[in-house]
Every structure is written in structure tokens, then in C-alpha cells.
Structure 1
Amino acid sequence: MSESRSAPAKSPVSPTLSIQTHDSCPPAETAIVDNGIGEFNDAAAPLHEVAPLSCFARDPAGGVVGGAVGRRWGRCCELQQLWVAPQHRRQGIGAALVRAFEAHAQTHGCTASTWKHSAFRRQISTARSGTTASTSMLFIHTQS
């Protein structure tokens, strides 16, 4: 399959630059963009300080029946994954995992929590407020 590439177009910003569009992500050019973003982010924030966080629900035999996995950085934690085994769902385990995850993050100085995944947005909202979330949104919970 050949790549489709447009002829260079004059840049509306500078007469010495040209802009090309592609139907793929050429590896060399993509690497330049990735490296540029990495250098910018490293200069702007100490991303090497991002640290993992997790908690797990276990059955009496020690088997994992649920888990909350995420990360923390500075005063913020992010819950990235929440899972409960099908036979253990709708028993409050997910909500308990979220509470345990937040409590553990607080021991590291975190005062704000974010969740981005739609699979558990409604369940977290329900666990917190007793209502149902009907729209997609990013929840940011800040401890006072």
C-alpha cells in the first residue's frame, strides 16, 4: 500500500516553510514530534516523579477479584483502571476499591483525584452521590 502525500503547500505563517499532509505517520517525522514533546514536557514538569498506585480486593484464598490501578504525581492521583470480576459485581466492591485507592493516595499527599474511563464513571458517580451519571465527563474530586 503506497502512502498518499500532498504536494508541499506554502505556509500561511512563513513564506520559507512548506506544509505537507500524510495519510500515515512517517516514522522519522513522528519521532521528531515525539522527541520534541518529550523535551518540552521534561523541561516543564518533572514527569519522572510520576509513581504507580494500586489496590486489590482478594477472596479468602488470596485470589484477586478486583482492582484499582493508577498513578500519582504531586498532589494529584489518577485512577486509570477499575475492574471487578463478574461474579463479585454489584456488591459495592468497586466503590470500596475507589475509596481505598483515594485513601492510599492521600497518604502520599494527594488532594485531587481524576478518573477518565467511561466504564466506571457512572458507577463512581452513583457510589459518591446516589445518582446516575448520564453524560460523559471527566470527574475531578478535590479533597478540602
Structure 2
Amino acid sequence: MSDEPTAVEFHIEDHPDPLDIDVLETQIRHEASAAMGLGGEADLAIFVRDAGTVVAGISGWTWGNCCELQSLWVEPSLRRRGLATRLLAAAEAEAAARGCSQTVHFTYAFQARALYERNGYELVGCVEDFPSGTDVLWYRKRLKGCADRR
């Protein structure tokens, strides 16, 4: 049997099926969990709804002793009322309850930089001019009440 790969076709898709993306993410999570021996990832999401419609929320995942917050959004008419801060606090509390000692979040320089810094996040990384005209920022916050497992 040859080690040469069989002929494959690449399909570039601008609008991939979300189920196909889920296949990739599920396989990556499965292999990472097996390699690290930390158990599986668990999704984390907190929503604010008005008449069933999502008007604010935060989502991410926890794995091992870490939490990554991937999305934080508040309906523009509800901003500047402390809702984002309360969502962050609720997510941090849930992450700590799951045994996490830190949380991380990517954001862009033009977005919520001040929000994270006001809430105790430290800037640990920056990729300049990504995308062109702004910077991507990587923030971390150590969570209280959990032993740091370095």
C-alpha cells in the first residue's frame, strides 16, 4: 500500500454549511482532549432575552482550568448600562465554578478595549494591523477563588 495520498479535490466555500464547520471543531476538540487528558470542552453561554429575542449575551467554552470567552454583544440601545460588565462577571463566576483559574478573550482595538481593562483584564498579546486599520488584542484575567495551576 502506497503512502501517497489519493487524489483529492479542494472545495473553496464562501458560505460553508455550519454543520461542516462543526465537524472540524468537533474533531479538533476530540483530538485535543485526548492528547491533553483534560476531559472535553464544555460550551458556556449566557443570554439576555426580550420577548424571546436575544438582546445581549456572552459565549465561549471551558476546558481544563481555562475559559475562552469568544463573543460578547449587547444591543446598541442597551449599551452604557453596565450590562456587558454584568455578563462578564456572570461568565467569570461560571468559569470559576467549573474550576477555571483564568479566562481569555480576543477583541479588536476599536471595540471594547476599555471594557476589558476596567474589568481587570490584562493585555497579553497584540497583532498589529489585523485586520488592516486596527489591532487584534488578546486579554487574560486570573480568576479569584481558584488555585493557579501553573
Tell me, yes or no, whether TM beats 0.5: yes
Indicate the residue corresponding to 2:69 in structure 1. Answer: 79
Q: Rate the CA distance shift 1:43–1:104 in 2: closer, same or farther, 3 A.
A: closer
Q: Rate the CA distance shift 1:42–1:50 in 2: closer, same or farther, 3 A.
A: closer
SS in 2 for 1:100: helix
Gap runs ≥5 in structure 1: 1-25, 29-33, 130-134
Please identify which structure carries the higher helix content: 1
C-alpha contact 1:84 1:93 (8 A) present in aligned 2: yes
Query: Aligned-residue CA RMSD in angstroms?
Result: 3.3
The one-letter amino acid of 1:122's match is A
| Counterparts of 1:43 and 1:52, CA distance in 2 | 18
| Counterparts of 1:73 and 1:56, CA distance in 2 | 21
* TM-score (ref. length: structure 2): 0.58
Indicate the residue corresponding to 2:117 in structure 1. Answer: 125
* TM-score (ref. length: structure 1): 0.60
Gap runs ≥5 in structure 2: 1-8, 12-23, 122-134, 145-150
Percent identical pairs in the alignment equals: 34
| Counterparts of 1:40 and 1:58, CA distance in 2 | 35
Q: Give aligned pairs, total.
A: 108
After superposition, residues 1-144 of structure 1 pair within 5 angstroms as: 27=10, 41=32, 44-46=35-37, 49-59=40-50, 61-118=51-108, 119-128=111-120, 136-144=136-144
Question: Which of these two proteins has the greater Rg computed from alpha carbons?
Answer: 1
| Counterparts of 1:87 and 1:110, CA distance in 2 | 32
| Counterparts of 2:100 and 2:63, CA distance in 1 | 8
Please identify which structure carries the higher strand content: 2
